[in-house]
Structure 1
Amino acid sequence: MDFPKIHESEYRFCLIMWEHEPVTATQLVKLCQDQLGWKRTTTYTVIKRLGERGVLKNDNGTVTSLVSKDEAQACEIDELVEKKFEGSLPAFIAAFTKHQAMSEDELDEVQRMIDRIRKGGSQ
Structure 2
Amino acid sequence: MKEYKLTESEEKFAELIWQNEPIGSGNLVKLCEKEMNWKKSTTYTVLKKLCEKGIFQNKNAVVSSLISKDEYYAKQSIRFVEDTFGGSLPKFLASFISGKKLTNHQAEELKRLIDEHKKV
Query: What residue identity is the alignment partner of 1:91?
Result: K
What is the CA deviation profile of residues 66-87 of structure 1, one whole-angstrom value per residue up to 9, with x for unaligned ones? 1111211111111111111111
Cross-structure match for 1:88: 88
Cross-structure match for 1:42: 42
TM-score for the superposition, normalised by structure 1: 0.79
Query: What residue identity is the alignment partner of 1:48?
Result: K
Residue 118 of structure 1 and its aligned partner are, at CA, apart by 4.1
* Alignment CA distance shift 1:31-1:107 (3 Å): farther
Matched residues, number = 120
Cross-structure match for 2:25: 25
* Alignment CA distance shift 1:102-1:10 (3 Å): farther
The unaligned stretches of length 5 or more in structure 1 are none
Distance, in Å, in 2 between the alignment partners of 1:79 and 1:38 is 30
Between 111-120 and 70-79, report the one with greater CA deviation: 111-120
After superposition, residues 9-24 of structure 1 pair within 5 angstroms as 9-24=9-24
* Alignment CA distance shift 1:101-1:16 (3 Å): farther
Between 35-44 and 111-120, report the one with greater CA deviation: 111-120
Identity of aligned residues (%): 42
TM-score for the superposition, normalised by structure 2: 0.80
* Alignment CA distance shift 1:107-1:33 (3 Å): farther
The unaligned stretches of length 5 or more in structure 2 are none
Query: What residue identity is the alignment partner of 1:66?
Result: L
After superposition, residues 1-123 of structure 1 pair within 5 angstroms as 2-98=2-98, 105-118=105-118
Distance, in Å, in 1 between the alignment partners of 2:55 and 2:108 is 34
Distance, in Å, in 2 between the alignment partners of 1:42 and 1:110 is 43
Distance, in Å, in 2 between the alignment partners of 1:99 and 1:13 is 36
Distance, in Å, in 1 between the alignment partners of 2:99 and 2:112 is 22
